[in-house]
Protein backbone atom coordinates (compact mmCIF):
# COMPACT_ATOMS: atom_id res chain seq x y z
CA UNK A 1 0.00 0.00 0.00
CA UNK A 2 2.66 2.56 0.80
CA UNK A 3 4.04 2.14 -2.72
CA UNK A 4 0.65 2.95 -4.23
CA UNK A 5 0.36 6.07 -2.09
CA UNK A 6 3.71 7.34 -3.34
CA UNK A 7 2.67 6.73 -6.96
CA UNK A 8 -0.55 8.61 -6.36
CA UNK A 9 1.39 11.55 -4.91
CA UNK A 10 3.70 11.58 -7.93
CA UNK A 11 0.74 11.38 -10.28
CA UNK A 12 -1.01 14.26 -8.50
CA UNK A 13 2.18 16.29 -8.53
CA UNK A 14 2.74 15.73 -12.27
CA UNK A 15 -0.90 16.51 -13.05
CA UNK A 16 -0.71 19.72 -11.02
CA UNK A 17 2.57 20.69 -12.67
CA UNK A 18 1.15 20.04 -16.14
CA UNK A 19 -1.99 22.08 -15.44
CA UNK A 20 0.05 24.93 -13.97
CA UNK A 21 2.29 24.96 -17.06
CA UNK A 22 -0.71 25.02 -19.40
CA UNK A 23 -2.32 27.82 -17.40
CA UNK A 24 0.84 29.90 -17.40
CA UNK A 25 1.35 29.38 -21.14
CA UNK A 26 -2.22 30.46 -21.86
CA UNK A 27 -1.83 33.59 -19.72
CA UNK A 28 1.40 34.48 -21.50
CA UNK A 29 -0.17 33.92 -24.89
CA UNK A 30 -3.13 36.14 -23.99
CA UNK A 31 -0.94 39.01 -22.82
CA UNK A 32 1.96 38.68 -25.27
CA UNK A 33 0.48 40.73 -28.02
CA UNK A 34 -1.83 39.11 -30.45
CA UNK A 35 -2.34 36.40 -32.93
CA UNK A 36 -3.37 36.26 -36.54
CA UNK A 37 -6.96 36.37 -35.29
CA UNK A 38 -6.59 39.29 -32.88
CA UNK A 39 -4.40 42.24 -33.74
CA UNK A 40 -1.70 43.52 -31.46
CA UNK A 41 -3.14 46.79 -30.27
CA UNK A 42 -1.02 49.59 -28.93
CA UNK A 43 -2.54 51.89 -26.41
CA UNK A 44 -3.15 55.45 -27.56
CA UNK A 45 -0.09 56.91 -25.80
CA UNK A 46 2.26 54.37 -27.43
CA UNK A 47 0.72 54.85 -30.87
CA UNK A 48 0.93 58.63 -30.48
CA UNK A 49 4.60 58.36 -29.50
CA UNK A 50 5.21 56.10 -32.50
CA UNK A 51 3.62 58.58 -34.91
CA UNK A 52 5.65 61.43 -33.39
CA UNK A 53 8.86 59.41 -33.76
CA UNK A 54 8.29 57.89 -37.21
CA UNK A 55 6.07 60.47 -38.87
CA UNK A 56 3.58 57.75 -39.81
CA UNK A 57 -0.13 58.60 -39.62
CA UNK A 58 -1.99 57.37 -36.54
CA UNK A 59 -5.18 55.33 -36.91
CA UNK A 60 -7.43 54.98 -33.88
CA UNK A 61 -10.48 52.74 -33.61
CA UNK A 62 -12.84 54.14 -30.98
CA UNK A 63 -15.56 51.79 -29.78
CA UNK A 64 -17.13 50.06 -26.79
CA UNK A 65 -17.73 46.49 -25.62
CA UNK A 66 -21.51 46.92 -25.68
CA UNK A 67 -21.53 48.08 -29.33
CA UNK A 68 -21.97 45.16 -31.79
CA UNK A 69 -20.48 47.07 -34.76
CA UNK A 70 -17.48 48.09 -32.62
CA UNK A 71 -16.86 44.51 -31.55
CA UNK A 72 -17.11 43.35 -35.17
CA UNK A 73 -14.62 46.01 -36.29
CA UNK A 74 -12.18 45.06 -33.53
CA UNK A 75 -12.48 41.27 -33.73
CA UNK A 76 -13.31 40.58 -37.39
CA UNK A 77 -12.32 43.51 -39.62
CA UNK A 78 -9.07 44.72 -38.06
CA UNK A 79 -7.42 41.27 -37.84
CA UNK A 80 -7.98 40.93 -41.61
CA UNK A 81 -6.44 44.36 -42.17
CA UNK A 82 -3.44 43.44 -40.00
CA UNK A 83 -3.02 40.12 -41.83
CA UNK A 84 -2.82 42.04 -45.12
CA UNK A 85 0.03 44.17 -43.70
CA UNK A 86 -1.87 47.45 -43.96
CA UNK A 87 -1.40 48.40 -40.29
CA UNK A 88 2.39 48.29 -40.69
CA UNK A 89 2.12 51.60 -42.54
CA UNK A 90 0.56 53.44 -39.61
CA UNK A 91 0.61 53.65 -35.83
CA UNK A 92 -2.54 51.84 -34.67
CA UNK A 93 -4.49 51.92 -31.43
CA UNK A 94 -7.93 51.21 -30.09
CA UNK A 95 -9.72 53.28 -27.50
CA UNK A 96 -12.52 51.67 -25.49
CA UNK A 97 -15.08 54.25 -24.37
CA UNK A 98 -15.96 52.12 -21.36
CA UNK A 99 -12.38 52.31 -20.08
CA UNK A 100 -11.09 55.55 -21.62
CA UNK A 101 -14.21 57.66 -21.86
CA UNK A 102 -12.59 61.09 -21.70
CA UNK A 103 -10.07 60.29 -24.43
CA UNK A 104 -12.71 58.59 -26.58
CA UNK A 105 -15.00 61.61 -26.36
CA UNK A 106 -12.11 63.94 -27.28
CA UNK A 107 -11.29 61.84 -30.31
CA UNK A 108 -14.87 61.43 -31.56
CA UNK A 109 -16.15 64.82 -30.51
CA UNK A 110 -18.86 62.93 -28.63
CA UNK A 111 -20.07 61.48 -31.93
CA UNK A 112 -21.26 57.99 -32.81
CA UNK A 113 -19.20 54.82 -32.60
CA UNK A 114 -17.45 52.92 -33.97
CA UNK A 115 -15.25 55.64 -35.38
CA UNK A 116 -12.00 55.04 -37.16
CA UNK A 117 -9.94 58.20 -37.08
CA UNK A 118 -6.72 58.94 -38.90
CA UNK A 119 -4.50 61.87 -37.97
CA UNK A 120 -1.45 62.83 -39.95
CA UNK A 121 0.95 65.58 -39.10
CA UNK A 122 1.82 68.17 -41.73
CA UNK A 123 3.58 71.51 -41.72
CA UNK A 124 0.09 73.06 -41.41
CA UNK A 125 -0.79 71.02 -38.31
CA UNK A 126 -2.73 67.81 -37.76
CA UNK A 127 -5.15 66.71 -40.47
CA UNK A 128 -8.03 64.43 -39.55
CA UNK A 129 -10.03 61.88 -41.53
CA UNK A 130 -12.63 59.48 -40.16
CA UNK A 131 -14.98 56.63 -40.92
CA UNK A 132 -18.14 56.30 -38.86
CA UNK A 133 -20.03 53.07 -38.29
CA UNK A 134 -19.24 49.44 -39.01
CA UNK A 135 -17.16 49.02 -42.16
CA UNK A 136 -16.00 46.20 -44.41
CA UNK A 137 -12.33 45.21 -44.59
CA UNK A 138 -12.22 46.61 -48.13
CA UNK A 139 -13.47 50.03 -46.99
CA UNK A 140 -11.08 50.16 -44.02
CA UNK A 141 -8.14 49.13 -46.19
CA UNK A 142 -9.00 51.82 -48.76
CA UNK A 143 -9.39 54.42 -46.01
CA UNK A 144 -5.98 53.66 -44.50
CA UNK A 145 -4.15 53.34 -47.82
CA UNK A 146 -5.66 56.60 -49.11
CA UNK A 147 -4.52 58.38 -45.94
CA UNK A 148 -1.01 56.97 -46.31
CA UNK A 149 -1.03 58.03 -49.97
CA UNK A 150 -2.09 61.58 -49.03
CA UNK A 151 0.60 61.67 -46.36
CA UNK A 152 3.31 60.53 -48.77
CA UNK A 153 2.21 62.99 -51.46
CA UNK A 154 2.14 65.88 -48.97
CA UNK A 155 5.63 65.03 -47.69
CA UNK A 156 6.98 64.89 -51.25
CA UNK A 157 5.34 68.22 -52.04
CA UNK A 158 6.82 69.77 -48.89
CA UNK A 159 10.23 68.35 -49.75
CA UNK A 160 10.09 69.69 -53.32
CA UNK A 161 8.91 73.07 -52.10
CA UNK A 162 11.73 73.40 -49.60
CA UNK A 163 14.33 72.25 -52.14
CA UNK A 164 13.08 74.27 -55.10
CA UNK A 165 14.43 77.68 -56.02
CA UNK A 166 12.31 80.70 -56.86
CA UNK A 167 10.87 80.68 -60.35
CA UNK A 168 10.37 76.93 -60.59
CA UNK A 169 6.89 75.45 -60.92
CA UNK A 170 5.08 74.91 -57.66
CA UNK A 171 3.63 71.53 -56.82
CA UNK A 172 -0.12 71.20 -56.32
CA UNK A 173 -1.23 71.06 -52.69
CA UNK A 174 -2.82 67.88 -51.42
CA UNK A 175 -6.28 68.47 -50.01
CA UNK A 176 -7.70 66.82 -46.95
CA UNK A 177 -11.26 66.60 -45.73
CA UNK A 178 -10.75 68.49 -42.47
CA UNK A 179 -7.87 70.26 -40.82
CA UNK A 180 -7.55 70.46 -37.06
CA UNK A 181 -5.30 72.62 -34.95
CA UNK A 182 -2.48 71.00 -33.00
CA UNK A 183 -4.32 71.77 -29.77
CA UNK A 184 -7.36 69.79 -30.99
CA UNK A 185 -5.43 66.51 -31.15
CA UNK A 186 -5.67 64.77 -27.77
CA UNK A 187 -2.33 64.92 -26.04
CA UNK A 188 -0.43 62.17 -24.29
CA UNK A 189 -1.66 63.74 -21.04
CA UNK A 190 -5.28 62.91 -21.94
CA UNK A 191 -4.57 59.22 -21.59
Asked if residue 81 has pLDDT above 90, the reply is yes
pTM, rounded to two decimals: 0.65
How far is Cα 95 from Cα 189, in angstroms, rounded to an integer? Answer: 15
pLDDT band per the 50, 70, 90 thresholds, residue 41 = low
In a domain, 11, yes or no: no
Q: Which range, of 101-110, 156-165, 167-176, averages the lowest pLDDT?
A: 167-176
In a domain, 66, yes or no: yes
| CATH number for the domain harbouring residue 58 | 3.40.30.10
In a domain, 130, yes or no: yes
Domain that holds residue 185: 44-190
Section 84-111 average pLDDT = 92
In a domain, 36, yes or no: no
Section 114-128 average pLDDT = 89
The structural domain count of the chain equals 1
Identify the residue with better confidence: 166 or 52: 52
In a domain, 184, yes or no: yes
**39-78 burial string, b = 16+ CB within 10 Å, else e?**
bebbebeebbebbeeeebbbbbbbbbeebebbeebbeebb
How far is Cα 47 from Cα 107, in angstroms, rounded to an integer? Answer: 14
In a domain, 8, yes or no: no
In a domain, 20, yes or no: no
In a domain, 121, yes or no: yes
Q: How far from the centroid of its chain's Cα atoms is residue 89's Cα?
A: 11
The reply to whether omega before 114 is within 30° of 0 (cis) is yes
Amino acid sequence: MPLRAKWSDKESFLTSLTLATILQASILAATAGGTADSPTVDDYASARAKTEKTGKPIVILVGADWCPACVQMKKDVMPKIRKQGVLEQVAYATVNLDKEGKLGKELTGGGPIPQMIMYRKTHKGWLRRCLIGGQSPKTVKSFILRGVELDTAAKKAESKKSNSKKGKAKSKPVTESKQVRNDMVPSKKAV
